[in-house]
Structure 1
Amino acid sequence: MENLNTSTQNNTSIPSMPQIPRILPLKQVIHYTGLSSTTIYDMLDKKSNRYDSTFPIQVKLSKGRVGWVESEIAEWLNNKIRARAH
């Protein structure tokens, strides 16, 4: 009986699931940032005077469909918040 308990205790750990990034569509990026779609795409355009190299680049999901990594948008917003204190 003692051996059964020992082997049961050793097998109780559950392997961790891989972290799946959440992808936000443009509408949610607009909602979270308060920016318009035009401003967002201008911030991604190196030729635009509104270009922002710190703004997260979209991920191409399929032909005609893109999204943004939620954690990258959150980090960008947090950096903006921290920058206002300086």
Structure 2
Amino acid sequence: MENLNINNQTETNNLSAVRLPRMLPLKEVTYHTGLSSTTIYDMLDKRSNRYDPTFPIQVKLSKGRVAWVESEIAEWLGCKIAARVH
């Protein structure tokens, strides 16, 4: 019986060590980037003159629900900040 409890504790500890990516809905992406939702979708559309291949692609979570990986948005913003002309 004790052995089962030890195995359960080990599994629980391993699961708590896993870091899940934080997903941002469109509203948060618009807030953090200062871009409108229209601009964001234009930046993802290869046929748009606003297309930006460096902008992170959204993740389809379910039918009708998408989100962006927070770390990818942060990295994209960091690149924009680093690339600015002083």
Q: Under a length normalisation based on structure 2, what TM-score does the superposition of the two structures give?
A: 0.80
2:5 corresponds to which residue? Answer: none
1:64 and 1:70 map into 2 onto residues whose CA distance is 19
Instruction: Name 1:18's counterpart in structure 2.
Output: 18
How much identity, in percent, do the aligned residues show? 75
Structure 1 residue ranges (4+ consecutive) displaced by more than 3 angstroms after TM superposition? none
Q: Which has the higher helix share?
A: 2
Deviation at 1:19, TM superposition (A): 1.3
1:43-58 map, 5 Å? 43-58=43-58
- Where in structure 2 are there 5+ consecutive unaligned residues? 1-12
1:43-70 superposed Cα distances (whole Å, 9 cap, x missing partner) = 0000000000000000000000000000
Task: Quote the Cα distance in structure 1 between the aligned partners of 2:85 and 2:19.
Answer: 32
Give aligned pairs, total: 73
